[in-house]
Amino acid sequence: MVDELKVRPNAWGPFRRSSCHLTTDGDLEELHASARSIGMERRGFQDHPLAPHYDLTPERREAALRAGAIYVPAREQARARRTSRRGA
Q: Tens digit of pLDDT per residue, the chain (88 long)?
A: 999 998 877 666 655 678 899 999 889 999 999 999 999 999 999 999 889 999 999 999 999 999 999 999 999 998 988 887 665 5
In a domain, 15, yes or no: yes
Residue-level pLDDT at 15: 59
In a domain, 17, yes or no: yes
Residue type present at position 85: R
In a domain, 34, yes or no: yes
Residue-level pLDDT at 36: 97
Domain around 39? 6-87
CA distance 82 to 57: 26
In a domain, 1, yes or no: no
Cβ neighbours of residue 54 under 8 Å, at least 6 residues apart? 21, 22, 31, 35, 40, 44, 45, 46
In a domain, 60, yes or no: yes
Residue-level pLDDT at 82: 82
Q: Where are the alpha helices (DSSP H) in the chain?
A: 28-37, 58-66, 74-87
The model carries a pTM of 0.84
CA distance 23 to 1: 5
